[in-house]
Structure 1
Amino acid sequence: MSDPDTSADSISIVVPLYNEIESLDALLERVTASMRASKYPWELILVDDGSSDGTPQRVSELVEQYGKHIHLLELQRNYGQTAAMQAGIDYCSGKYIVTMDGDLQNDPDDILRMVEELKERELDLLQGWRKNRKDGLFLRKIPSRIANRLIANITGVSLNDYGCSLKVYRSSLIKRVRLYGEMHRFIPVWAAVFTRPSRIGETVVKHHAREQGSSKYGISRTFRVILDLIFVYFFLRFRSRPGHFFGMLGLASGAISGLILSYLAVDKFVFGADIGTRPLLLVGIVMLIASLQFITTGILAELMTRTYYESTPNTPYLASIAVDKKEIEWKLPNEAADSAG
């Protein structure tokens, strides 16, 4: 099989792995069987995220068995799913990039259908929706539904299942998005920075119960999602104007402090009350200091933002050009005056 080339229709499948040796044989068998019907050249990139159960050694054996279109990318240690996914995306060269989990809860049979749907609907990203999810109700389904609703309301990118790893992207989009931390859960949101939300779609995919190995996720992930969501909200709304974010906090804190201190001043100078030992005085002073801290932090953040945009080719906006500049006809000043007269 020829190496994929982004100049032609080709598919790269990225699968992060962490201690998934029990699922490896079935994974490659299922992916290979599903991709036999592909009319496009394809490659499978298996990213080992510092496994300790012999996963990379088994992958090397399977590469010999299945062929050189199966690639092993071995990370030096366990960096997390986001870093593993970014490493795989950086490595692959297909025009269409597919990401999925290695535990076979995602069904490889959905890959080709999703690629065709992405092309037919002229999308840049097609998100899988595990509508009939085979997971525990209280530990997985309910927290996931709450998180999905919260993310949709805060970010404005309305999807039913942000957490599904089965996604299809155009390479031209996903290679512009940089993933770090644990931001793989918010890929559609980050993608909306580089493309129109109307070019991000969703489709129902099959979902299976885990048959081998153990889940790497727990209820603690919910708290990490909340923290990540706060960062995403700040980045999307205040990336180019952080002073407004910190300024609003500073003004709100200053207003509350002003009310408290004004009340205490009236109470002391009009009614002669002793306010020196009252906790409310300490609250008012602390909130006044916090107000000054928020406002000065906002000023520093604004200076850093302006320095960033002025010292790099990045702009605080993205635009698509509807008219080719070469096709624009320029009118000379005398011609413009003649047409006006």
Structure 2
Amino acid sequence: MNVTGQQNKGHRLSVVVPMYNEADNVLPLLERVHEGLRGYAGHWEVILVDDGSSDHTARRLHAEAARFGPHVRVVELMRNFGQTAAMQAGLDAARGDVIATLDGDLQNDPSDIPAMIERLYADDLDLVAGWRRNRQDALLMRKIPSRIANRLIARTTGVHLHDYGCSLKVYRAQVIKGVRLYGEMHRFIPAWMAMATSPRRIGEMVVNHNARLHGESKYGISRTFRVVLDLLTVAFFMRYRARPLHFFGSIGLVSGGIGSLILLYLLVVKFAYDEPIGTRPLLLVGVVLVIAALQFLTTGVLAELMTRTYFESTRRPPYLVREADAPPPDVDSGWFAAEVAA
């Protein structure tokens, strides 16, 4: 009996692949996806997102989609918006109960997807992230920056994974669709997921990793510095998205407390010991700290008002309600189904 097939029967899978200047990888990618999902029992689709490629990627995507069938869908962005935006476009277009994402450079192995889906349901997880234990990349340009970034992200977010940068991930659609990705936040998806679900429902699994055969890598050591900046945003949103006053207010109270103690000390010096304080640098420090405290507290109140306005205007509460798995779907022509032997 095919355990993976029985585990996933009745669920629809959407495979999302952002692509940028990967014309030579289009056909090999689709062939590998079909080969890797040959034994998958559920119905599935592939969503190929062209991120404003400057080569012939879009043309080849449409040509191969017409050849393979309606389960291969193409989303063509008007210009290059970046991998995060391309991934979000694919997630928005996905119709499956389960969504898998992978890179279009053939370094991820689609044959890992069925086992990751099995793990998702067997362990009742919301995300299974790939772990490229044996990476086939250059040590200086890819491995070292990735290791630095992984450690920084794990320490800051509290979501401990070995490999944040692996694009091969499998999600429950109802959870990932409650998360919006902006900027260059695709590498922080597990952290964003931890704001919508428990970190205990985020797991990882060792996956295959292949050397790049065509095209050029879009990553380099410079991305490590961008990760540090993005981490500030992630850390703030993870802890204070719905209560920004606690962040700014805490800084304001500490600053105001220290400034008040300084001014109180100078007041005692002035009236108890009749010493001049007008030329003391400590007086300027105390005044600046008190003014800064007022500014932080005011900023916190304004941020709190903006947060509440956002939740009220969008009708999106600061929580997500878990829904039961959908019943087995009806078959239509927009999905691919493989014959699986019992």
Tell which deviates more after alignment, 88-97 or 250-259.
250-259
Match of 1:293 among 272, 276, 295: 295
Shift in CA distance, 151/283, structure 1 to aligned 2, threshold 3 Å: same
User: What's the CA shift for 1:247?
Assistant: 1.0
Checking the alignment, whether the CA contact within 8 Å between 1:8 and 1:95 is kept in structure 2 is: no
- Kindly indicate whether residue 167 of structure 2 is the aligned counterpart of residue 165 of structure 1: yes
Asked which structure has the greater CA Rg, the reply is 1
Residue 337 of structure 2 aligns with which residue? none
User: What's the CA shift for 1:297?
Assistant: 0.5
Superposition pairs of residues 129-148 of structure 1, within 5 angstroms: 129-148=131-150
Show CA shifts across 1:64-99 (max 9, x none). 332232211100111111111111111121222110
Checking the alignment, whether the CA contact within 8 Å between 1:7 and 1:95 is kept in structure 2 is: no
- Secondary structure of residue in 2 paired with 1:293: helix
Counterparts of 1:27 and 1:320, CA distance in 2: 34
User: What's the CA shift for 1:224?
Assistant: 2.1
Checking the alignment, whether the CA contact within 8 Å between 1:148 and 1:160 is kept in structure 2 is: yes
Match of 2:217 among 215, 218, 221: 215
Counterparts of 2:171 and 2:156, CA distance in 1: 23
Match of 2:203 among 172, 197, 201: 201
User: What's the CA shift for 1:262?
Assistant: 5.6
Checking the alignment, whether the CA contact within 8 Å between 1:129 and 1:164 is kept in structure 2 is: yes
Shift in CA distance, 68/156, structure 1 to aligned 2, threshold 3 Å: same
Letter in 2 for 1:176: G
Letter in 1 for 2:19: L
Checking the alignment, whether the CA contact within 8 Å between 2:127 and 2:201 is kept in structure 1 is: yes
- Kindly indicate whether residue 14 of structure 2 is the aligned counterpart of residue 28 of structure 1: no
- Secondary structure of residue in 1 paired with 2:103: coil
Counterparts of 1:121 and 1:12, CA distance in 2: 20
Residue 156 of structure 1 aligns with which residue? 158
**TM-score computed with the length of structure 2 as normaliser:** 0.82
Counterparts of 2:306 and 2:21, CA distance in 1: 41
Shift in CA distance, 69/320, structure 1 to aligned 2, threshold 3 Å: closer
Letter in 1 for 2:305: L
Checking the alignment, whether the CA contact within 8 Å between 1:12 and 1:43 is kept in structure 2 is: yes
Shift in CA distance, 309/70, structure 1 to aligned 2, threshold 3 Å: closer
Identity of aligned residues (%): 61
Q: Taking CA–CA contacts closer than 8 Å with sequence separation of 6 or more, which of the two structures ends up with the larger relative contact order?
A: 2
- Kindly indicate whether residue 60 of structure 2 is the aligned counterpart of residue 58 of structure 1: yes
- Secondary structure of residue in 2 paired with 1:253: helix
- Kindly indicate whether residue 97 of structure 2 is the aligned counterpart of residue 91 of structure 1: no
User: What's the CA shift for 1:24?
Assistant: 2.0
Shift in CA distance, 284/47, structure 1 to aligned 2, threshold 3 Å: same
Residue 10 of structure 2 aligns with which residue? 8
- Kindly indicate whether residue 44 of structure 2 is the aligned counterpart of residue 42 of structure 1: yes
User: What's the CA shift for 1:245?
Assistant: 0.5
Shift in CA distance, 129/7, structure 1 to aligned 2, threshold 3 Å: closer
- Secondary structure of residue in 2 paired with 1:23: helix
Letter in 1 for 2:25: S
Show CA shifts across 1:23-69 (max 9, x none). 22321222222222222222111100011011101212222332232
Show CA shifts across 1:247-294 (max 9, x none). 111122234434555666677775856763x66655444333322211
Letter in 1 for 2:189: I
Checking the alignment, whether the CA contact within 8 Å between 1:20 and 1:55 is kept in structure 2 is: yes
Match of 1:123 among 125, 136, 156: 125
Residue 326 of structure 1 aligns with which residue? none
User: What's the CA shift for 1:120?
Assistant: 2.0
Match of 2:245 among 219, 243, 246: 243
Q: How many residues align?
A: 316
Checking the alignment, whether the CA contact within 8 Å between 1:268 and 1:275 is kept in structure 2 is: no
- Secondary structure of residue in 1 paired with 2:128: strand
- Secondary structure of residue in 2 paired with 1:22: helix
Checking the alignment, whether the CA contact within 8 Å between 2:252 and 2:296 is kept in structure 1 is: yes
- Secondary structure of residue in 1 paired with 2:23: coil
Q: What are the ranges of 5 or more consecutive residues in structure 1 without an aligned counterpart?
A: 1-5, 323-341
Match of 1:76 among 75, 78, 81: 78
Checking the alignment, whether the CA contact within 8 Å between 1:82 and 1:180 is kept in structure 2 is: yes
Checking the alignment, whether the CA contact within 8 Å between 1:118 and 1:126 is kept in structure 2 is: yes
Counterparts of 1:154 and 1:280, CA distance in 2: 35
Shift in CA distance, 108/317, structure 1 to aligned 2, threshold 3 Å: closer
Counterparts of 1:239 and 1:15, CA distance in 2: 29
**TM-score computed with the length of structure 1 as normaliser:** 0.82
User: What's the CA shift for 1:143?
Assistant: 2.9
